[in-house]
Structure 1
């Protein structure tokens, strides 16, 4: 089985991850509050972003299957760190669908998907996921 991602340590607390199928690359830096330059997403930023992107992706799949679009929707994500041990304690996500003109049935479809997407189901139960949807 081929790897999904190949990651290299570039030095100076920086990594480069290559998606093997597409060749696309992501660079990460340690955050400035943990000895890094903060010039790229940090690994914990990526975790938080993954949660938001995963929920959005599943919403997009379900919306297409139900015959409507969420194109133009946006989301803001906040990462809240904890110490001892240093970890992501909470991810807050605010989805904004106000530009999508969704009816109540469509809104309810999206509301049901917040906690059942793969990334939200894959992280530890101690990670607080505070997700809101604005219509």
Structure 2
């Protein structure tokens, strides 16, 4: 088992990662009867994409002797109203390092093959932009 989710009431859940004990709270969004006081489940999906992309780039960057510390990923999730689902995820990776074109190509290719991106439904539009220092 990877995690355990407990419904807390008021459209809020607690998810505990069993290996580490880390807890994530989620709320239904304000546009769907919730309080929006934490990530919504669809926010977590979109956020997982950005986290996966930067993490897999960081794994590869060790081989390339490049440090990605301080780089950021901005995520924008756009919902479709009927049926309610994620329509589009906009990912902007702000890489705060100066690298040559070969290294950029390698890292961008790795990011575009992250497991979360490859797992998302093909109906979800993915708009990915890399900004390099």
Q: Which TM-score band applies after superposition, normalised by the shorter structure? A: over 0.9
Alignment partner of 2:90: what SS? strand
**Structure 2 partner of 1:19:** 17
Runs of 4+ in 1 over 2 A off after TM superposition: none
Q: Deviations 1:23-81 (Å, cap 9, x if unpaired)?
A: 01000000000000000000010000000000111100011122111111111110000
Tell me which of 58, 76, 79 is aligned to 1:78. 76
Report if the CA contact (8 A) 1:81-1:89 is conserved.
yes
Residue in 2 aligned with 1:126?
123
SS of aligned partner of 2:56: helix
2:86 equivalent in structure 1: 88
Q: How far did residue 110 of structure 1 move?
A: 1.4
Aligned length: 132
Q: Secondary structure at the match of 1:112?
A: helix
Residue by residue over 1:7-35, the C-alpha shift from the partner in whole angstroms, topping out at 9 and shown as x without a partner, is 00000000000000010100000000000
TM-score by length of 2: 0.96
Gaps of 5+ in 2: none
2:50 to 46, 49, 52: 52
Give the CA RMSD over aligned residues.
Answer: 0.8
- Normalising by structure 1, we get a TM-score of 0.95
Task: Tell me the residue number matched to 1:35.
Answer: 33
Uncovered stretches (5+) of structure 1, i.e. residues with no partner:
none
